Amino acid sequence: MTTTVQEEDSVTAGSTSAPWRIGTRGSLLALTQAGTIRDALIAAGQPAELVVIKTPGDLSSDPVQTIGVGVFTSALRDELALGGIDIAVHSYKDLPTAQDPRFTIAAIPPREDPRDALVARDGMVLGELPAGARVGTSAPRRAAQLRALGLGLDILPLRGNIDSRLRKVSEGELDAIVIARAGLCRIGRTDEITESLEPVQMLPAPSQGALAVECRSDDPQLIEVLAGLDDAATRAAVLAERSLLGELEAGCTAPIGALAEIVESIDEDGRIFDELSLRACAAAIDGSDVLRASIVGAPKDAAELGRALARELLDLGARALLSVTDEPAPTDFTNSSPMENNR
């Protein structure tokens, strides 16, 4: 079920051409993300407006791993296919890894900080939380890596928009939450963060912090214009991470972490060149084991680097590890608030 609400105040003043319609979910975070694309198009002289689409995921309070993150993107894609919108803006990590030939990811703008963030009571960092501290998170990946740290934390499920999640800490319902730092950055709430978790502690989800700007594949003019918003380094990093996820045949709620970065290297003649560094992990949901691996190569080989690292994880036993399902029974901390699309 979808409904659309169009903004009337974002069309370029005095323009006679029809504005491009940008589909988005209605949360503050989703609107902020889509708004950056609208503003960039307007700055380039192209009228644009936001169209808010309600998705089935916004109406559900069930855990994400139960309903599947596809419910947050399929409604936008349906509207795009029907011509109700011209562009869809997704949190890239919510998209399935399999490509849909109807659509093209025409732009991946520069990535926001991909790390996870801790928001804890009394300004505590992760290592200061006492054993038994109640920590909320929406992602099995985070839960698995938190358990693997052996801190004795009580990991609880978390749903709701960013404000409702933060309130669970400020009102004492939880001692801490772990969420994507990118979302807090985009809505100007980084002052709430008590610790940004480094990848050595917790690898983020593949493509976390990146946006996917999608349009129909049969619209070459739109593809060409949107390509001006693309960031080559972000695209290479995301391609490597998602290729790894696809090779593992793991869904985007699986306990898989991955982070690719473009780094500078120096050859034997002293010349500087770019390399793509990819780190990944596969974790048992109960925290009993975490497999880690890394690879370095040319950015142009991003997809193959991701697949190669996935095969290494499989050789190390990732398939069996990902089948571990004896997660402790969670306390129900769900609510009816719409979920942010950059968890």
Which residue numbers are catalytic? 94
| 92 contacts: CB under 8 Å, gap ≥ 6 | 108, 207, 210, 211, 212, 238, 242
Contact 12, 19 (CB under 8 A): yes
Q: Could you give the CA distance from residue 121 to residue 104 in angstroms, rounded to a whole number?
A: 43
Q: Could you give the CA distance from residue 177 to residue 186 in angstroms, rounded to a whole number?
A: 18
Torsion sign (Cα): 60, 62, 64, 67: negative
Q: Could you give the CA distance from residue 215 to residue 107 in angstroms, rounded to a whole number?
A: 9
Helices of type H across the chain: 28-43, 64-67, 74-82, 140-148, 162-170, 181-186, 220-226, 232-247, 302-316, 318-322
Strands (E), 12-163: 20-24, 48-53, 87-91, 103-107, 116-120, 134-137, 154-157
Q: Could you give the CA distance from residue 337 to residue 28 in angstroms, rounded to a whole number?
A: 12
273 token code pair:
């060149």
In three-state secondary structure terms, 15 is: coil
Q: Could you give the CA distance from residue 232 to residue 109 in angstroms, rounded to a whole number?
A: 9
Q: Any idea of the CA torsion for 22, 103, 249, 286, to the nearest 10 degrees? A: 10
